[in-house]
Structure formats: structure tokens, C-alpha cells
Structure 1
Amino acid sequence: MIVIDGVTRIRGKARILHEVGFTARPGRVTGFLGPNGAGKTSTLRVLLGLDRPQAGTALIDGRPYAAWDRPLTVAGALLDGSGAHRSRSARAHLRWVAASNGLARSRVDEVLEIVGLTAEAGKRAGRFSLGMSRRLGLATALLGDPRVLILDEPVNGLDPAGIRWMRTFLRDSAAGGRTVLLSSHLMGELAETADDVVIIDKGRVVAAGTVAEVTAGHATLEDAFLARTATEGVTW
């Protein structure tokens, strides 16, 4: 489970996050929705201990991410890019990450198969397309077979078949009991995938609930978003 409570993040003189709070529960896909610059990635960076908030807490299964001895076995994350050095092959990158958390080498081939990169395992990351880089990033997130997945714009760069595969994978992950937190600015994709939705704009959570609750009285998630944020002067 992910619990974010009252997180405020200030960068210089700018308040990036304003008392952000929500919960992502096991067995459900929670969509984190907002336009570019709304605060989605900033929130995830605080959750993963990459940035320090001025106030509030962000916990994964009751602890900060950095407090776990083998964090990859608890939460897997996909943020910008694959995280791999351009000169390293996909397999070499995954073996290095696996060793950092004491994971078996055999897991590397398993995750390459899961994400469909077995044939490209020996290719250098610098030669990967954007879609292949996203798959390698997901493989890295899955190395520890974690119970929590934190994914920032995971369909970015994927072709239609890849998007369908990702949607099925996320739904299956939640059905298997994982907590899945998925950030995106693509409302149609979230409507197809998420059980719960958190809408953020200008660093503030403006709506949260099940997809049905958030869209109540509106034809689509996009209509609900626009209605919820109209008073905030949002430009989509």
C-alpha cells in the first residue's frame, strides 16, 4: 500500500506540491492524472526518496522507500528512461541492478521474457528506441518481484500493440494483489486501466476516488477532469 499524507515540496521560491495526500491500495490500479507540470513526477520522486519534502510523509507499506533494506523487493519504479548507461547491454544493466539488491541472476532472463526483450538482451541501451527503453525500465522495476509498482507515463513511446500489452500487464498485476500507481496525462488510457483516480493540478489534489465516483455526472473522465479543475484556471 502507498500512503501519501500532507506532502509539501518547495523548490527555490516555488511551491511545487501543496499538502498532497492520497492512498493507493493493493489489488487496484490507481491512476495519477494531471497535465504536464501538475506535480505528478514531483510526487513520485518524493515517494521514492529522490526529493525531500518540506512537510508530510510518503510511505510504502508503512515505511519510507529508503528505509527498506532491499527496496526492489518491495517497490519497483519506472520514471524517466530506462536508467541504463548507453554503453551497457540490457542484460548487463539488469544483472548489475539485481546484484545491488542480492537478487538471483536467473531473474534477469525472467523479466526480459516478461517485457518482450529477450531477443534484444545483448543490445546496448543507447541503441534502444523509446518504446524499448520503457520496456527495459519496466524490466528493472520487476526484478525484485515487488508487491508495489510505481510507473510514470509507462506507455510513452509504445506502439498500439505495446499499449495494449501494458494495459493487460497492469490489470493482471493488480489482480495478483499488487499495488499499482500509474501516472499519466492520457485520460483515455487511465479510463481503460485504472480502478481509482487521483487528479492533481498545480501541485494540489483536486479530486480522488473510484473512476465511477470521479466521473459521476460526466460522460467521460476528460469531462470530469475539466469540470473539477475549471475553477483553478486550468489550461489543458
Structure 2
Amino acid sequence: MRAAGGDGHPGPVIELNGLTKRHGGKVAVDDVSFTASPGRVTGFLGPNGAGKSSTLRVLLGLDVPDAGTALVGGRPYRKLRNPLRTVGSLLDGGGAHGSRSGRAHLTWLAVSNGIPRSRVEEVLDLVGLADVAGRRVSTYSLGTGRRLGLAAALLGDPEVLVLDEPVNGLDPEGIRWIRRFLRAYAAEGRTVLLSSHLMGETAGTADDLVVIDAGRVVARGTVPEVVGGHASLEDAFFALTEERGR
């Protein structure tokens, strides 16, 4: 499901054009446009409340936009034939019932989406949860719960990963692991869209950046392009948002 550009090279797989979403009288996402391409990690960066999660919820078909489009492989998420096999996603908040074990949760997802049960053990090993997979989800720490969410995202071996704050609750070893994992995943020609408010971590993981503030995109480009003449991405970020706030 890698879209091809006019020159024969892979083109954008994720495309947002003029996306706008309101919650009541508040504009959460304001005319947002950007792309994410195969073989690259695209960092979606902004402070809490900037509109990152609202954007991802529209992209993943959980909310309906007020204007604009959000496409994966040229289609809205709701029109994908096999969503779990196409897009793996991890959003804030758990989707697993606390009384179930991690293994039972993944098995239910696999069976309901026509994915072989053998894939459950593969992803448990992949994210380092094999030893605790039999425990109830309610006993998991925040970091362990994020690993279970990542396992669910990987269950269908998707071409696209959309992750919202994936390192939330992880210890330094876990953060280092996920950075390496995402880099390797993109190196296979897959598309990774990584939402975060952690600038240092995003700068060390992403190839491309989209910076959003107060619902609007304030910068996009490669990491060096966004950093520009600043000493760090953090300095560039605050310069961008302070300039917008004037």
C-alpha cells in the first residue's frame, strides 16, 4: 500500500489537506495540511492541547472533520478494506479491558480481524511483554500498557504506524528501544507518523517534522530545515510558537 509518485518513487501515504475540526465553538484543528511518506519517520510535534490528538482522531476515522480531508493510501480510514492490516495505531488511553490478560486482549483483536493467533506471540516477544502477557491488564504500569498498545498496533503487520505519545510512561531503556524500533520499521519502507510533545526525543527519532501550535501548522520540513539556525529543536520550537503568539 505504498503510493507511487509521478516519478515512480514512493509518494506520500498519509495526506492531510485543509483539515479543520471544531469541538463546540472551539477550533481544535485549523486548516492543517501535511504528508508522511514511506521510509521515513514523520514527527508531529506540539505542546499539549495544540491539536495533535484531534488531528490523529480524524485521520483514524474516530472523528469526522468539519472541512478538508485526511487520507491513508488515497482513502479515508473508514474506507480501508483491512484497517488493522493497513494502519497500526496507538492513541492515548487504553483500549484493553482491565480484567483481561494482555495475551487475551491481543488474541481477541487477532481473531476478530482475521489475523493468525501465532502473530500474538510474535508481537508479545517483539515489544518485550512475553513474561507478563498472562497478567491482567489492570495490573500493568503505564509503560507496560503502552507496550501492549504498541503490540496491538503491530498485530496486523501494517505498512503504516500512527503513534500518539508512544514513549509516555516508558523508562529510559524502553525509550531507547522504541527509537531504534521505529527507525528500523521506517527503514523497511514503511510509514511512521509519531506525535509527541517531547522535542529532544522527536529530534532523535524523526526524519521529517510537522510543528503545530494552537491548531495550526507553524513549520514543516526535515529536522535540519525546521531547526534552521537555532541551537536545538527546542529553541526553534519556542521561537516559532512565541512568534505566532505575538
Distance (whole Å) between structure 2 residues aligned to residue 82 and residue 230 of structure 1: 34
| Unmatched runs of 5 consecutive residues or more in structure 2 | 1-12
**Matches of 1:41 and 1:178, distance apart in 2:** 22
| Superposition map of 1:1-236 within 5 A | 1-233=13-245
CA distance in 1, matches of 2:241, 2:171: 30
Q: CA deviation at 1:81?
A: 3.2
3-state SS of the aligned residue for 1:98?
Answer: helix
Count of residues in correspondence between the two structures: 234
* 2:9 aligned residue: none
Instruction: Tell me the distance in 2 between the aligned counterparts of 1:142 and 1:66.
Output: 19
Aligned-partner Cα distance in 2 for 1:230–1:184: 19
Contact 1:111 1:142 in 2 (8 A): yes
Task: Write the distance in 2 (CA, Å) between the matches of 1:121 and 1:231.
Answer: 48
SS of alignment partner, residue 172 of structure 1: helix
The answer on whether the counterparts of 1:91 and 1:121 sit within 8 Å (CA) in structure 2 is yes
**CA pair 82-136 structure 1, distance change in 2 beyond 3 A:** farther
d(CA) in 1 for partners of 2:86, 2:65: 22
- Distance in 1 (CA, whole Å) between partners of 2:92 and 2:143 is 12
Distance across 2 between alignment mates of 1:87 and 1:26: 37
Deviation at 1:232, TM superposition (A): 2.0
Counterpart of 2:5?
none
Q: Distance in 2 between matches of 1:181 and 1:90?
A: 25
Work out the CA distance in 1 between the residues paired with 2:30 and 2:80.
27
Q: Which runs of 5+ in 1 are unaligned?
A: none
User: Percent identity, aligned pairs only?
Assistant: 67
Distance 2:75 2:112 in 1: 20
Contact 1:81 1:133 in 2 (8 A): no
| Counterpart secondary structure, 1:42 | helix
Distance (Å, rounded) in 1 between the aligned partners of 2:110 and 2:140: 21
Give the CA RMSD over aligned residues.
0.9
SS in 2 for 1:181: strand
Q: Tell me the CA shift for residue 80 of structure 1.
A: 1.6
Partner of 2:7: none
TM-score using structure 1 length: 0.97
Q: Distance in 2 between matches of 1:193 and 1:36?
A: 19
CA distance in 1, matches of 2:195, 2:203: 12
